[in-house]
Amino acid sequence: MRLEGWRTNLRGPIDARRIVAVAPSNTEILHALGLGRRIVGVDRWSDYPPRVNSLPRVGSDMRVDVERVTALQPDLVVASLHVPGMEDNLPAFERAGLAYLAVGGLGLEGVWEDMRVIGRFLRREERAAALIADIQQRMARIAARRHEGLERPRVHWEWSAHPVVAARRSWITEMLTLAGAENVYADLDVESVRVAPEEAIARQPDVVVACWCGIRKLPAVERVLSRPGWQATPAFRNRRVAVLSEAFFGRPGPRLAQGLEQLAAVLK
């Protein structure tokens, strides 16, 4: 199980002028809070906004190269706890004498908490509150467009082809509800979990969404449709299979509202 909430070795808010952002979600949150120009290094997966592509890389968000971070002389490292194992970076930051703030809230409320915590420690509380309100309002408008009374499709949402799926505690469950659907794994009281293909097929999803993490190029829908045994599901029989970019769903940050818009279009 991963750590929940946030961790820091700061005693209070600071005026950090040099920030290393570890995890794409943190990079995007910092930019949305008007702190993008203070970022001096990012993890290997951060690619938005485009200006970050010219910044030094400090390894993956799972295994940070602390020597590279130290060489950048940051006032603060903003790290993540959203994936099990990320907490292993924190002792290394401590040993190197690096100030850090690591966030990892659960569900959509956890996303808002991440933004509030980063805003609080970097003296951007009002901006964080405005950002959260804007995203929530955009999501509410999308949710209001769904037609009440219509059947809610049951969705298999996978983060990898194994498959690793989004379960009850994931913000994806809430996003599916807002889009007028249900998570077929809502009975599993975890954030994500690997399931056997046989179990996924037995759940008979109406829609399959492939939103794979850690890839540079999206798979073709036909690749997903070629899986043996899945033709027994309503999703495959009706070709209700979608491939969506992890950038709008797997990063608990400002672009989730754009992701919800895409999801609502898929579920029409």
E strand segments, the chain: 5-8, 19-21, 39-42, 76-80, 100-104, 154-160, 164-166, 182-183, 192-194, 207-210, 241-243
Residue 124 and residue 21: Cα distance in Å, rounded?
16
Which element (helix H / strand E) includes 27? Answer: helix 24-32
Domain boundary, last residue among 110, 140, 170: 140
Does residue 194 share a domain with residue 114?
no
pLDDT digits (tens, 9 = 90+) for 111-127: 999 999 999 999 999 99
Q: How many domains are there within the chain? A: 2
- With CA atoms as reference, report the closest residue to 175 among 107, 106, 242: 107
CATH number of residue 182's parent domain: 3.40.50.1980
0.75 surpassed by pTM: yes
Residue 208 and residue 201: Cα distance in Å, rounded?
11
Does residue 248 share a domain with residue 200?
yes
Residue reference for tokens 């590279």: 68
pLDDT digits (tens, 9 = 90+) for 28-41: 999 999 999 999 99
Domain boundary, last residue among 107, 140, 173: 140
Does residue 223 share a domain with residue 191?
yes
Q: How many other C-beta atoms are found inside a 10 Å radius of the C-beta of residue 187?
A: 9
Domain boundary, last residue among 83, 115, 140: 140
The reply to whether 196 falls in a domain is yes
Beta bridge partners of 194: 164
Domain that includes residue 15, residue range: 5-140
Which element (helix H / strand E) includes 235? Answer: helix 234-237
Residue 261 and residue 170: Cα distance in Å, rounded?
18
Considering only 128-137, 192-201, 213-222, 243-252, which range has the smallest mean pLDDT? 213-222
